[in-house]
């Protein structure tokens, strides 16, 4: 006996909570898959609600809306079958479901067994774990249905194989970080080889608040070799074919997109994250304070790539300490990108603030207060433009600055979203160089000159911080790996630098809690990943 089954893999950019919209997109993809002669279309985890729906799952009426739209989906799709994901509320609790729909009827439902509750995941807050495998005899081939985390651990896949599954179908909401695609493929390939069965892996695509879902759906053969690889960071539909020849079941792919290099991957994640956050929140345009420095230069370029030049405004806000070089380079970049460019001096408003505050300041000497007033004048200007025009402010602080609090609350931290919040300073430079290799839009001098906030004469970042070549590795160890201070020193970093950095990180939690959300591209970002109390009596020992 020989037979073939054509299976469509759907990377759909869904909207969390946009259940009607998401069902419309599934229907659209189903029609496209029918035209490709697919028998079955596989969508991602919780595709009806988008992933992660978070506390929407607790809202009265949310799950009834899911049921209504699930019924509409069943009634609307004919001539092709579906595997989809949705939440299901029962008397036993709420389950994360993967389901098979055949001829408009739900024939099988599988409840996700392994619920992740680490890093950015909180599934045990919402869902009850399933306990049974789901093996579906589909057109003569037995499909083992699993959901995301199930494939990362021993248990669910192996049980499905024991119960006769010949191909594993795994639907996912797997978020991106800079090494995730390689890590994910390795885990899935190892699992396929271990159980000696092909795997079909379908992942969500799109930005959701801080998270970016990269898609990169793929299929492996029973030997753990990738035989089908879809694009990253793009909505896509493609097809694989399961072939039965007697007792042998194999899988044949039709697409093999090479994996992106790291810088290309990160840059595309930033572009997707910014574009989706802006559009999904109902904005069309953004405004950025373009200072002539590297952070605003990269942010502006990302914004243009995400939204188009017509939808980006840049405002240069010079002060007496702003160099001619900065003003020239900001204008040159704006011209290279073809964006709307404005110049608004903050000198008059700064002088007015300082004059009005003089009675409160008394005879106290100038200090960082006056520097922060400059930053807050700029923040006020950006927010006024935003209010008047409806453009969202993109803030420009990088991860290094966010870590140590090298930013001004209600000043340069003002904004609705931050493209580079999770991008360390050294990586900012590397991404700028990468983007310039595509087209030279960031002036070379912006990349090569010494970084400076330009809030006082002859100021440079290294006046207040360790050199970024030292700062960034210490931050990675302490922030992303929770490495004890003594262990960081043991790796060759000076005790003075380590002490300075961890003290700055710990005392600036209050600033980070008030910062705009931003794209997550590391394994541990501020926000969903790393959660520390603002008020805390614990301090790591800095005396060894």
3-state secondary structure 380-431: HHHHHHHHHHCCEEEECCCHHHHHHCCCCCCCCCCCCEECCCCCCHHHHHHH
Is the pLDDT at 250 greater than 70? The verdict is: yes
Selecting among 38, 43, 134, 148, the annotated active-site residue is 148
Tokens representing 511 are 């600033």
Looking at residue 167, its pLDDT comes to: 96
In tens, the pLDDT along 459-510 reads 787 788 899 999 999 999 999 999 999 999 999 999 999 999 999 999 999 9
In tens, the pLDDT along 375-392 reads 999 999 999 999 999 999
Ramachandran bin of 405, using left for φ above 0, alpha for ψ from -120 to 50, beta for the remaining angles: left
Is the pLDDT at 1 greater than 90? The verdict is: no
Ranges of beta strands (E only) in 12-134 are 40-42, 81-90, 93-102, 105-111
Ranges of beta strands (E only) in 66-116 are 81-90, 93-102, 105-111
Selecting among 38, 43, 112, 210, the annotated active-site residue is 112
**Average pLDDT score over residue span 428-441:** 97
Looking at residue 457, its pLDDT comes to: 84
- The tally of CA atoms less than 13 A away on the side-chain side of residue 380 is 11
- pLDDT-derived band at 527, boundaries 50, 70, 90: confident
- pLDDT-derived band at 2, boundaries 50, 70, 90: low
Selecting among 38, 45, 166, 189, the annotated active-site residue is 45
Tokens representing 159 are 């049980």
β-sheet with 167-172: strand ranges across:
135-138, 141-147, 167-172, 199-203, 218-220, 226-229
Looking at residue 168, its pLDDT comes to: 97
179 vs 454, more confident? 179
**Average pLDDT score over residue span 151-176:** 96
Ranges of beta strands (E only) in 139-285 are 141-147, 167-172, 199-203, 205-208, 211-214, 218-220, 226-229, 236-245, 248-252
Is the pLDDT at 197 greater than 90? The verdict is: yes
- pLDDT-derived band at 256, boundaries 50, 70, 90: very high
Is the pLDDT at 544 greater than 70? The verdict is: no
Looking at residue 459, its pLDDT comes to: 77
Beta strand 205-208 with 167-172 is unpaired
Q: Which CATH number fits domain 2-259: 1.10.10.60, 3.40.50.300, 3.30.750.24, 3.60.110.10?
A: 3.60.110.10
Tokens representing 436 are 């310039």
Cα–Cα distance for residue pair 506/407, rounded to 1 Å? 15
Phi and psi at residue 443, in whole multiples of 5°?
-55, 135
What single-letter DSSP state applies at residue 365?
Answer: P
**Average pLDDT score over residue span 351-364:** 95
**Average pLDDT score over residue span 536-541:** 80
Closest CA relative to residue 286, chosen from 376, 211, 386 = 386
Angle, CA 441 vertex, CA 382 and CA 523 arms, to 5°: 70
* Residue bearing tokens 């961890």: 502
Helix count (H) and strand count (E) of the chain?
16, 20
- Whether 2-259 shares its CATH topology with 264-464 is answered no
Task: Give catalytic status of residue 377 as yes or no.
Answer: no
Check if the beta carbon of residue 295 is closer than 8 Å to that of residue 420: yes
Looking at residue 542, its pLDDT comes to: 65
Check if the beta carbon of residue 468 is closer than 8 Å to that of residue 399: no
Residue ranges of the domains in the chain? 2-259, 264-464
Looking at residue 488, its pLDDT comes to: 94
Check if the beta carbon of residue 201 is closer than 8 Å to that of residue 188: yes
Is the pLDDT at 142 greater than 70? The verdict is: yes
Task: Give catalytic status of residue 124 as yes or no.
Answer: no
- pLDDT-derived band at 158, boundaries 50, 70, 90: very high
Looking at residue 247, its pLDDT comes to: 84
Looking at residue 387, its pLDDT comes to: 96
In tens, the pLDDT along 390-400 reads 999 999 999 99
| CATH number for the segment(s) 264-464 | 3.40.50.620
- The tally of CA atoms less than 13 A away on the side-chain side of residue 47 is 33
β-sheet with 248-252: strand ranges across:
105-111, 93-102, 81-90, 40-42, 2-11, 236-245, 248-252
Looking at residue 536, its pLDDT comes to: 84
Beta bridge partner(s), residue 40: 7, 81
Is the pLDDT at 19 greater than 60? The verdict is: yes
Residue 11: enclosing H or E segment and its boundaries?
Answer: strand 2-11
* Residue bearing tokens 């194999």: 250
Quote the mean pLDDT of the chain.
94
In tens, the pLDDT along 266-305 reads 999 999 999 999 999 999 999 999 999 999 999 999 999 9
In tens, the pLDDT along 35-68 reads 999 999 999 999 999 999 999 999 989 999 999 9
């Amino acid at each position: 006996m020989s037979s073939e089954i054509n299976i469509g893999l759907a990377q759909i950019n869904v909207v969390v909570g946009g259940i009607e919209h998401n069902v419309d997109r599934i229907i659209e993809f189903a029609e496209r898959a029918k035209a490709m002669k697919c028998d079955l279309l596989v969508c991602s985890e919780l595709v009806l609600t988008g992933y992660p729906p978070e506390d929407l799952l607790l809202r009265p009426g949310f799950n009834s809306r899911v049921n209504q739209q699930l019924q509409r989906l069943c009634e609307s799709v004919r001539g092709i079958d579906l595997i989809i994901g949705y939440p299901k509320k029962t008397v036993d609790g709420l389950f994360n479901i993967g389901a098979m729909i055949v001829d408009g009827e739900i024939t099988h439902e599988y409840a996700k067994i392994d619920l992740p509750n680490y890093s950015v995941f909180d599934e045990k807050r919402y869902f009850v774990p399933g306990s049974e495998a789901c093996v579906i005899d589909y057109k003569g081939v037995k499909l083992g249905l699993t959901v995301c985390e199930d494939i990362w651990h021993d248990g669910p896949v192996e049980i499905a194989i024991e119960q006769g599954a010949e191909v594993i179908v795994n639907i996912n909401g797997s978020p991106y970080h800079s090494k995730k695609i390689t890590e994910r493929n390795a885990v899935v390939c190892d699992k396929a080889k271990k159980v000696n069965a092909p795997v079909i892996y379908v992942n969500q695509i799109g930005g959701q608040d801080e998270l970016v879902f990269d898609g990169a759906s793929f299929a492996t053969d029973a030997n753990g070799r990738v035989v089908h690889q879809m694009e990253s960071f793009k909505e896509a539909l493609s097809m694989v074919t399961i072939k039965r020849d007697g007792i042998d079941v194999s899988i044949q792919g039709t697409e093999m997109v090479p994996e992106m290099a790291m810088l290309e991957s990160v840059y595309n994640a930033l572009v997707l994250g910014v574009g989706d956050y802006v559009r999904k929140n109902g904005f069309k345009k953004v405004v950025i304070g373009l200072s002539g420095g590297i952070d605003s230069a990269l942010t502006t370029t990302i914004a243009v790539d995400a939204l188009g030049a017509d939808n980006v405004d840049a405002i240069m806000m010079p002060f007496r300490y702003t160099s001619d070089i900065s003003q020239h380079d900001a204008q040159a970049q704006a011209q290279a990108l073809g964006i709307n460019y404005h110049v608004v001096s903050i000198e008059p408003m700064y002088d007015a603030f300082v004059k009005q505050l003089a009675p409160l300041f008394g005879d106290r000497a100038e200090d960082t207060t006056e520097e922060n007033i400059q930053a807050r004048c700029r923040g006020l200007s950006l927010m006024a433009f935003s209010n008047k025009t409806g453009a969202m402010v993109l803030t420009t602080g990088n991860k290094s600055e966010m870590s140590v609090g090298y930013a001004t609350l209600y000043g340069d931290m003002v904004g609705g979203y931050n493209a580079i919040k999770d991008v360390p300073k050294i990586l900012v430079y590397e991404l700028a160089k990468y983007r310039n290799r595509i087209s030279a839009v960031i002036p070379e001098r912006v990349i090569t000159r010494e970084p400076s906030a330009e809030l006082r004469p002859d100021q440079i970042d290294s006046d207040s911080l360790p050199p970024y070549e030292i700062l960034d590795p210490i931050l990675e160890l302490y922030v992303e790996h929770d490495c004890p201070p003594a262990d960081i020193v043991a790796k060759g970093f000076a005790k003075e630098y380590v002490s300075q950095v961890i003290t700055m990180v710990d005392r600036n939690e209050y600033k980070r809690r008030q910062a705009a959300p931003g794209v997550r591209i590391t394994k541990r970002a501020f926000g969903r990943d790393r959660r520390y109390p603002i008020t805390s009596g614990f301090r790591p020992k800095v005396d060894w």
